Amino acid sequence: MPVTAKLSRKFDERFGDELTNELVDWFNQVDATYRSELRELNELNFARFEAKLDQLRAELRAEFQTGLASLEGRLLARIGILEGRFGTLEGRLVRWMFLFWAASLGTMLALR
């Protein structure tokens, strides 16, 4: 959207309408050129920013997945340890239950 430049009436009277209009047109062309160059520069900068953002996002995703895999490995190792402990505890509980059952049965047979 070009901005139309206006020059003073004295300038117009001194140099004439033709030169004044030519100067105004030249200013408008310069303005349009600068706007176009600025738009292109902004688009290039945005493209570089977006590329950098995508790269950082990919790095962060890879780091997150690596950390998550490490956490999963440690969690599975801990679960394995707990399963072993529960297995041991279960075995000891079965032994104690058998001992109490045998003692109760022995007591009942002795009292009969």
pLDDT tens-digit map of 61-101: 999 999 999 999 999 999 999 999 999 999 999 999 999 99
Looking at residue 92, what is its pLDDT?
Answer: 94
- The CA-atom distances, in angstroms, between 84 and each of 75, 80, 95 are 14, 6, 17
| pLDDT classification of 19: cutoffs 50, 70, 90 | confident
For the entire predicted model, the pTM comes to: 0.54
**Per-residue confidence (pLDDT) for residue 1, from 0 to 100:** 54
Question: Which spans in 1-112 are helix H?
Answer: 9-111
Higher pLDDT, 11 or 73: 73
pLDDT score of 6: 63
Q: Which residues contact 94 (CB under 8 A, 6 or more apart)?
A: none
